[in-house]
Amino acid sequence: MTASGSEQLLFIVAVTAVAAPLLGRYLAAVFGGGAAPGDRVFLPVERLTYRALRIDPDSSWTWRAYALAVLAFGLVSTLLLYVILRLQGQLPLNPTGAPDMPPLLSFNTAASFVTGTNWQAYEGETAASYLTQMAGLVVAQFTAAAVGLSVALAVVRGIAGSARTIGNFWVDVTRSLVRVFVPLSIAGALVMVGQGAVQTLRGFLTATTLAGGRQVIPGGPVASMEVIKLLGTNGGSFYGAGGAHPFENPTGFTNMFDLLLVIVLPFAIVFMFGRLIGRRWQALAIVAVMAVIFIGHTVVSMQAEVHGNPRMPASVSQLVTATSPGGNSEGKETRFGPEASALMTVGTMGTTAGATDSALDSYTPVGGAGAFVAILLGEIGPGGDGGGLYSILVLALLSVFVAGLMVGRTPEFLGKKIRGPQMKLVVAYVLTIPIVVLVLGSTSLVLPAGTSSILNPGFHGLSEVTYAYASAANNNGSAFAGLSADTTWYNTTLGLAMLIGRFVPIVLALAISGSLAGARVHARTRATLGTAGPTFAVFLFGVIVIVGGLIYFPMLILGPIGERFAG
Amino acid sequence: MRRHLIASIVLLAGLTVLLGFGYPLLVTGLSYLLFRHQAEGSLIYRHGKLVGSALLGQSFTDSKGNPLPQYFQPRPSAAGSGYDGKSSGASNLGPDNPLLIGFVAGVNTVGLTGAPSARNPFATRADPACVPVTVKGTPVTTPVPGERFARQPDGSYVCDPATIPERALAYRRFNDLPANAKVPVDAVTASGSGLDPDISIANALDQAPRVARTRHLPAAVVIALVHRETQGREWGFLGEPTVNVLDLNLALGGLR
């Protein structure tokens, strides 16, 4: 890595290390049940909401009721977004004249945004009206993030709490939005606009260029979407080019600001967890595992991209010099350069944002593999808002079980015994997404409907397909974008992959939480396996790598590994 | 379940009003108050007419698409037919794709029969990685026996001009660089957005003598202008140093 690459990585690590614990403390105050900063402003808004929803904010539910509310909310959100997309051509606020979206593409897009995946098979500039972007997609981005955080809170209450109930979904969603996502988004959006991000309701302008040609200058309420796309670990952009577009991500500063918006909150949620359960070392062990995964895959990709494309002809210089960023610059913006591009793009792959500032399809095999691996490890480096926490907690349960078997003790996590019923749910959780990815991915590779969409030949083309399903099922939403995904086959199967990959794990995580809710908490003895120290962190890391690695290894061999060693 | 559904509908209706309209309109209002120029798209006007945006690259070509030598040229673009503000995007070509790097022996070479081959049968003297095109100009990466390719008057193949080796040859020719000069990588690769407003300093310096010659200016004056227009890294370490092509070309007009 070059000096500027390492400095930017250090900057990200340092800011996160300071900001995440502070934000975690705030979150713990907000969701801990007592008084919290800003009550005077936020409480009246929340009370009004509860009255409108006719709910009792002090009631707490069983996991079944909680899961049903999540599913009901998901269903209504999907239907509403579907209707907006289908009718956008006839609705107001459409200065660019976007037509109604066709049925299957609308299904795919609605599923994509409601699940927080933000896979985009449409072109933002021409295929989505401003009304769709503002009132449809942005609302879904807010709610998807709030639902993720709410589910994490419910899971924590069940796993660690003493009550038999796990909270109230409407209260969790309301408080997440009112106290976390909306205020942070307003502040973040203004920072972005100050740097040059666009925020206007005008449609296309036509400029007469210096050389006498014509150029369309797009507009739109971009910054307001950009910030919740990142903060909510969603990833769906206003424009087709996403975070590479200068109107979304105008400077080297916004590029790193974008990455911070993505990763600080998921880390903060783990710190919040530590405070809520009163075991901060437990949170630190989890944060350490997440940080190792985040830094690991990011550094590998940065290194590969700055080194350049090994097939580049000798007539071209990829060397990094004082006057040239060099590296593998196909699909990358000059103002970011290859390292910061890889840092931002591959860095967000460890979360479910999958926000990119460069074209993944043009990454070197090793650089692209960094993104691939981050997704396949199950989005826990540091994962989505809330999703990262409940995913790694499930893997922690698996780890204590395996460790318990190895040393012949009853596995315990946070003082609660882990038994057969929990382990069945854990295994179902761990297998759901790989089954979706492998079944749909391999089916696509034998059907003409799947293979005809591939752009690049050879191993790389195979990666385009398998990556699409890995990305959809893990609710990441990034793409090896050469794949033509707006087809009947891909719109349908990827839409299903996203819905299954979102809601089945949520229901299973809530079920695990429910089965542990109210279980007896055993006092810690000398025989208890500690789950907060470095030993457990290393063990958890090992389990994550073995589970993810073994399931997907054949897929990686046929994709980036084959590509790297071919020819 | 019915209670949940009703609560979902009420909540979503409220959120659509508050977050779908209230939030973006509030941000728009504040942005216009605080950063109007940026919010509108950093638009550049000259003599009262809109010439573009400081943040979006644009083409400097004649009506036939040929680059104009009196202007600094931006990077290749994959947005529509080039710098199309309505269809931002990248080429998405993989690192081995012949459409990107040409036919490289042992990597992706395909023979006249369509089977992989140890050498590139379409190689020309100037471009050993030549990817042939049909008579209509479409590049052929998977030839079939009997296919008809476009030829030069001397019988050699016409190559796809969009591959990196061909772009490097064209860049050297256009800028009168020696045959062994290394071309800066940003000059022959397309950006992620297709609207990259910037080029590297090295790329601008390679173009400066040609621009100076066309405009009958001393090369040193244009080179000095490139250095003046160079944007350093933000905070000294964020991103890369760049030269904004539109700003640079606008500044050229003020030189004498």
Q: What is the pLDDT of residues A17-68, one digit of tens each?
A: 999 999 999 999 999 988 999 999 999 999 999 999 999 999 999 999 999 9
Question: What backbone phi and psi angles, to 5 degrees, belong to A420?
Answer: -50, -55
Cβ B92–A480 below 8 Å, yes or no? yes
DSSP state of A559: I
Q: Residue B51: its chain A contacts at CB < 8 A?
A: 207-210
CB B60 within 8 A of CB A211: yes
Rg, C-alpha atoms of chain A: 23
Query: Exposed e or buried b for every residue in B72-96, given b needs 16+ CB within 10 A?
Result: bbbbbbbbeebbbbbbbbbbbbbbb
pLDDT greater than 70 at residue A425: yes
Cross-chain Cβ contact A177/B19 below 8 Å: yes
Distance between CA atoms of residues B148 and A265, nearest Å: 58
Q: What is the CA radius of gyration of chain B?
A: 24
Bridge partners for B139 per DSSP: B133
Q: Would you give the DSSP letter of residue A398?
A: H
Chain A residues whose CB is inside 8 A of the B58 CB are 207, 209-211, 213, 215
What pLDDT was estimated at residue A454? Answer: 94
Nearest residue of chain A to residue B198 (CA atoms): A334
Question: For residues A484 and A472, what is the distance between their CA atoms, to the nearest angstrom?
Answer: 15
Q: What is the pLDDT of residues B84-111, one digit of tens each?
A: 999 999 999 999 999 999 999 888 999 9
Task: Give Cβ neighbours of residue A422 (< 8 Å, ≥ 6 apart).
Answer: A397, A512, A515, A516
**Residue of A68, A217, A252 with shortest CB distance to B85:** A217
Please state, in angstroms and as integers, the Cα–Cα distance from residue A294 to each residue in A468, B36, B178, following that order: 21, 37, 45
Partners of residue B164 in chain A, C-beta under 8 Å: 312-313, 316
Distance CA B194, CA B58 (A): 10
Contact flag A310-B95 (C-beta cutoff 8 Å): yes
pLDDT at A525: 82
Which residues in chain B have Cβ-Cβ distances shorter than 8 Å to A193? 27, 31, 34-35, 38-39
User: Which residue's entry shows tokens 């099922």?
Assistant: A473
CB B233 within 8 A of CB B241: yes
Q: What is the pLDDT of residues B217-237, one digit of tens each?
A: 999 999 999 999 999 999 999
A315 Cα to chain B: minimum distance (Å): 5
Cα–Cα distance measured from residue B91 to residue A481, given in angstroms and rounded to the nearest whole number: 9
Reduced to 3 states, what is the DSSP secondary structure of residue B184?
Answer: strand
Whole-number pLDDT of residue A87: 97
A208 beta partners:
A214
Q: Tell me if residue B230 falls in helix, strand or coil.
A: strand
* A349-369 pLDDT, tens digit each: 999 999 999 999 999 999 999
Mean of all residue pLDDT scores within chain A: 95
Asked whether the predicted pLDDT for residue B256 surpasses 70, the reply is: no
Chain B residues closer than 8 Å to A8 by CB: 237-238
- Name the residue with tokens 């977004």: A81
Contact flag A135-B201 (C-beta cutoff 8 Å)? no
Nearest residue, CB atoms, B12 vs list A80, A224, A331 = A80
B202 touches chain A (CB under 8 A): yes
Kindly list the distances between the CA atom of residue B34 and the CA atoms of A253, B29, B39, B249, in Å, as whole numbers in the listed order: 19, 9, 9, 29
pLDDT tens profile A115-166: 999 999 999 999 999 999 999 999 999 999 999 999 999 999 999 988 999 9
Q: Provide the 10 A C-beta neighbour count for residue A399.
A: 25
Contacts of B93 in chain A (CB under 8 A): 330, 361-362, 455-456, 482
Once rounded to an integer, what is the mean pLDDT over residues A304-322? 96
Average pLDDT of chain B is: 95
Domain boundaries, chain B: 2-40, 46-89+193-252, 92-189
As a whole number of angstroms, the distance between CA A267 and CA A389 comes to 9
Question: Given an 8 Å threshold on Cβ–Cβ distance, is A316 in contact with B188?
Answer: yes
Which pair of tokens denotes residue A479? 């793409």
Tell whether B119 is within 8 A of chain A (Cβ). Answer: no
Q: What gap in Å lies between CA B120 and CA B131, rounded to an integer?
A: 9
Q: What is the ipTM of this complex?
A: 0.96
Q: Do A213 and B59 touch, CB atoms closer than 8 A?
A: yes
Query: How confident is the model over B119-136, as pLDDT tens digits?
Result: 999 999 999 999 999 999
* Residue A305 CB burial class (10 angstroms; 0-12, 13-18, ≥19): buried
CB A30 within 8 A of CB A36: yes
The answer to whether residues A244 and A359 touch, using CB atoms and an 8 Å cutoff, is yes
Interface-testing mutation among B92, B171, B223, B226, with chain A (most A C-beta atoms within 10 A): B92
Interchain contact B55–A (C-beta under 8 A): yes
**Nearest to A36, CA basis, from A221, A199, A175:** A175
Give residue B137's pLDDT: 93
Question: Residue written as tokens 């055993």?
Answer: A522
pLDDT value of position B218 = 96
pLDDT digits (tens, 9 = 90+) for A524-565: 887 788 899 999 999 999 999 998 888 898 889 989 999 988
Q: What is the amino acid identity at position A469?
A: Y
Q: How many residues does chain A have?
A: 567
Instruction: Spell out the residues 6+ positions from residue B153 whose beta carbon is closer than 8 angstroms to its own.
Output: none
The tokens for A42 are 């936020």
CA distance A16 to A368: 24
Please, which pLDDT band fits residue A196 given cuts at 50, 70 and 90? very high
CB distance B79–A210 less than 8 Å?
Answer: no
Q: Which of A380, A378, A387, A413 is nearest to A398 (CA)?
A: A413
Do the beta carbons of residue B245 and residue B67 sit within 8 Å? no
Say whether A325 and B240 touch across the interface (CB within 8 A). yes
Determine contact, residues A336/A252, Cβ cutoff 8 Å.
yes
First to last CA, chain B: 76
Give the pLDDT of residue B254: 84
- In this predicted structure, the answer to whether residue B139 has a pLDDT above a threshold of 80 is yes
3-state secondary structure A305-370: HHHCCCCCCCCEECCCECCECCCCCCCCCCCCHHHHHHHHHHHHHHCCCCCCCCCHHHCCHHHHHH
pLDDT 10s digits, A246-288: 999 999 999 999 999 999 999 999 999 999 999 999 999 999 9
Confidence (pLDDT) at A567: 61
What is the widest separation between alpha-carbon atoms in chain A? 80
| DSSP letters for A191-227 | HHHHHT--B-----EEEE-TTS-EEEE---BHHHHHH
CA B232 to chain A, closest CA, distance in angstroms equals 10
Helix, strand, or coil here: B116? strand
Contact B28 A200 (CB under 8 A): yes
Stretch B161-174: mean pLDDT, rounded? Answer: 97
